[in-house]
Amino acid sequence: MRDIKIAPSILASDFSKLGEEVRAVTEAGADWIHLDVMDGHFVPNISYGPDVIAALRAHTEIPFDCHLMIAPADPYLEAFARAGCDTITVHAEAGPHLHRSLQAIRALGKKAGVTLNPATPVSAIEHVIDMVDLVLVMSVNPGFGGQKFIDAVVPKIAAIDALIGDRPIDLEVDGGVTAATAPACAKAGANAFVAGSAIFKGGTVDAYRANIEAIRAAATDNRP
Ligand code: DX5
Ligand code: ZN
């Protein structure tokens, strides 16, 4: 069974002290740092890019889980690899050559991830499943933190879990994840949980730890 991973999204952190926030969630027990890169084109918001990620690399040793919401992605993959991302995830909708993007990520020596918007069917990744280390299921329309979890993605998580089968692929969910929505995702087969607003509230390491542990417990207690 795949390990449970909790991945705080720093999109919800205090951008004026990003290094400190990364250290705080690391100390609070985060497994991965989730990095939401937005271009104002593929999604209607702009966040941060490879230079910010590179600056954060020295602040923690846990893996950087990079979620690229950019189109095109291919010209920038090398920059994100150099910035210290461990997993680089591209959207299936972000370009016509998903297979090539995933090949390029692995050629850079990084773990390759693919993600699907809520409206995108599972069939979009059927033929690239052997090229990925992670599948990210979007449970909100990407672009903003703090949105409501879309329940209709739960059966999609189950379908992707079936597609993954015994392969060593993490199944991650992103958007509106809280201790209340994590159980249905875990039951459907998700093992990795991104959360922004549910983790970065309270402003202290102790608060972050409690927030992380609440999601971890909700997920662990509801494994299939
Ligand atoms: C949305 C991002 C998410 C977001 C999650 O485009 O991909 O990672 O930060 O934020 P919450 O947990 O607040 O929905
Ligand atoms: Zn994300």
- Closest ligand, as measured to the CA of 12: 1
**Pocket-testing residue among 194, 199, 201, ligand 1, by greatest number of atoms within 8 A of Cβ:** 194
- pTM beyond cutoff 0.75: yes
- Total domains, the chain: 1
What are the CA-CA distances from residue 176 to residues 19, 149, 153, 186, 194 (Å)? 24, 4, 12, 14, 9
Cα–Cα distance, 186 to 174 (Å, whole number): 13
pLDDT at residue 117, rounded to an integer: 99
H helices of 114-221, where? 154-164, 182-188, 205-220
The answer, yes or no, to whether residue 44 has pLDDT greater than 90, is: yes
170: which strand partners? 134
For residue 147, the model assigns a pLDDT of 98
- For residue 224, CA distances in Å to 150, 151, 177 come to 21, 18, 18
- The catalytic residue among 36, 39, 133, 170 is 36
Per-residue pLDDT reduced to its tens digit, 66-101: 999 999 999 999 999 999 999 999 999 999 999 999
The range of the structural domain enclosing residue 115 comes to: 5-220
87-91, strands of its sheet edge to edge: 5-8, 192-195, 170-174, 134-138, 111-116, 87-91, 64-69, 33-38
Catalytic residue among 31, 39, 170, 174: 174
Q: At 114, give phi and psi (nearest 5°).
A: -125, 145
Q: Dihedral sign, CA of 6, 12, 18, 23?
A: negative
Question: What's the CA gap between 224 and 187, in Å, rounded?
Answer: 5
pLDDT tens for each residue of 144-170: 999 999 999 999 999 999 999 999 999
Report the CATH number at residue 42.
3.20.20.70
pLDDT value of position 1: 85
Q: Which of 119, 16, 133, 121 is nearest to 65 (CA)?
A: 133
Cα of 10 vs centre of ligand 1, distance in Å, is 9
